[in-house]
Amino acid sequence: MPLVLIPALGLTQGGYQPDAWVWAGALAAWAAAVAVLAANGLGLLRTAWPWPVAAAVLLGWTALSSAWSTRPPQSWLDARRTLVYVAVVLALVLLARSGSTQTLVLATHAAVTVVLIYALARYLLGTRHNAAFEGYLLNQPFGYANAIGIVAALGALLALGLACERLPVAAATVPLFALALTLSGSHASWLALGAGLVVEAALTPSAYRLGAVLALVALPSAALVLLAHYSRLAASTPSPRVAGSVVAGAALAAVAATAVAARAVRLPQRVPAQRVRVAVLSLGAAVAVAAVVAVAVAGPAQPRSSYWHVAWNHELPGHVVAGTGAGTFGFYWLRDGAPATYGGALDAHSLYLETLAELGVVGLIVLLVFVAVPLTAVRSSRGYAGAAAFAAYCTFLLHAALDWDWEMPVVVVLALCCGAAVLAGRRAAAAAPGAKTRGLVLVAALVLAALAIAGVRSHTEPAAKTAKAPQLAGPS
């Protein structure tokens, strides 16, 4: 499923528009139904059932919030997006098999590679555009540069794990991901990548082997990063120093050189000395610190701090238990924020704070239970691919606290694939499910598919447009 859904969502604005939720939700739900009908077992459902159950509860609470929402249509719209995630989780749990971690990681990495190669080719070889809000940053085909950045960071972590897992050619994609990350201008994604490297180094069977892969990709990746900075392709200037075609040629050379080196160099197998693990951990910490410094120097605390201020000080008070209803932040921003200075905003740029404000403490608890299920399989993430999947999933959770990843289905589906790969590391004896269990799961999948398709009748769009500041309901 990753090979189909991630590229499809990525090439349609990251799945941001509601039209994509119709076919994406239906496709995932039908995949789940086929898994029930065609497979002998029910995949990981026996051990991972809390995950789809928590997802379903989150969907139910999101839809229920329309009953007290200040903007019910927007709440239902959020529920439609959440339905896609429920269907994807159910399909992943049913399709995956115990011990299929490496297969899932490989498929997810391949899907990310396809999307980012297309994004880079379009950016470097096409006409240069100065997009509203995004400027000259690498943002297409998602339409959001930070989404490109976090997808590249997750892809890099998966590539490192696969390169350690006797698939050294995967290392050749790391320079591409580093280039995409740089051209996206996403400091938060660099920060998340640094944290992810720390997690991967802590869990990987041999940090010595991981360190060797990092050493292998360091030079070509650094060269592309420096070239991207020097080129000023992503800077706010109409005339870059280096043409995109030159950077594209350098990228091809870096990929080729890394691939040749990866095939020629025999990676060490032995368990590392403690100092090597510390060195790799330090590298990840250094990347994170450098990102923090870059953020501090660039001064992009705004407008995020303003978003967070509105969510915490204006939207949450009086609505602590149940929130103001899903999808309502944008209206509070228009009333209490600074739209004249920073423009409109539909999201608080923090999954957890926005959930607290819109769905209350109840919704936040449900969300935390949902995202925590893959984390409970940390003891099963001891292989290279498992460590990479766990690190990528943690990286997403960190980045989601700083941006609006939840509203970009391509990012969330990528993270859910990583979560499923983590859960697939658990060893469990296969057991034939009963007819009643199969029937219930099949009905659930078909209902999700029907609801996703029914969404085509809705014409509500993600918006908070109004001629004047709206009069929102008072505290309840």
Q: Which tokens go with 370?
A: 């949902």
**Segment 176-187 mean pLDDT:** 95
Examine the pLDDT at 308 and tell me if it is beyond 60: yes
Examine the pLDDT at 142 and tell me if it is beyond 50: yes
Distance (Å) of CA 404 to CA 54, 76, 146, 383: 21, 18, 9, 31
Compute the distance between CA of residue 121 and CA of residue 118 in angstroms, rounded to an integer: 5
pLDDT of residue 5: 96
Tens-digit pLDDT profile for residues 393-431:
999 999 999 999 999 999 999 999 999 999 998 876 556
pLDDT of residue 466: 41
**SS3 state at 246:** helix
pLDDT of residue 365: 97
pLDDT of residue 30: 95
Examine the pLDDT at 43 and tell me if it is beyond 70: yes
Compute the distance between CA of residue 194 and CA of residue 189 in angstroms, rounded to an integer: 9
**SS3 state at 454:** helix
pLDDT of residue 476: 28
Compute the distance between CA of residue 189 and CA of residue 408 in angstroms, rounded to an integer: 15
Examine the pLDDT at 297 and tell me if it is beyond 60: no
pLDDT band at 453 (very low <50, low <70, confident <90, very high): very high
pLDDT band at 293 (very low <50, low <70, confident <90, very high): low
Share of residues in the chain with pLDDT > 90 (%)? 68
Tens-digit pLDDT profile for residues 163-175:
998 788 899 999 9
Q: Are 169 and 432 in contact (CB under 8 A)?
A: no
pLDDT of residue 180: 97
Mean pLDDT of the chain, nearest integer: 88
pLDDT of residue 288: 58
- In the chain, what are the domain boundaries? 2-457
Compute the distance between CA of residue 347 and CA of residue 333 in angstroms, rounded to an integer: 9
Q: What angle (nearest 5°) sits at the alpha carbon of residue 51, between those of residues 46 and 55?
A: 140
pLDDT band at 15 (very low <50, low <70, confident <90, very high): very high
Q: Which tokens go with 364?
A: 């936040």
Examine the pLDDT at 182 and tell me if it is beyond 80: yes
Q: Integer distance in angstroms from the first to the last C-alpha of the chain?
A: 43
**SS3 state at 265:** coil
Sequence-ordered alpha helix ranges (H) in 165-231: 174-184, 187-203, 207-231
Helix H, strand E, coil C: the string for 264-298 is HCCCCCCCCCHHHHHHHHHHHHHHHHHHHHHHHHH
Q: Are 269 and 209 in contact (CB under 8 A)?
A: yes
Report the half-sphere exposure of 82 (CA within 13 A, side-chain side).
27
Examine the pLDDT at 268 and tell me if it is beyond 80: no
pLDDT of residue 139: 95
**Segment 36-63 mean pLDDT:** 92
The b/e string for 239-256 (b: 16+ C-beta within 10 A; e otherwise) is ebeeebeebbebbeebbe
**Segment 299-314 mean pLDDT:** 83
Tens-digit pLDDT profile for residues 197-243:
989 988 988 888 888 899 899 999 999 999 999 999 999 888 899 99
The one-letter amino acid code at 455 reads G
pLDDT band at 39 (very low <50, low <70, confident <90, very high): confident
Select the more confidently predicted residue: 216 or 132: 216
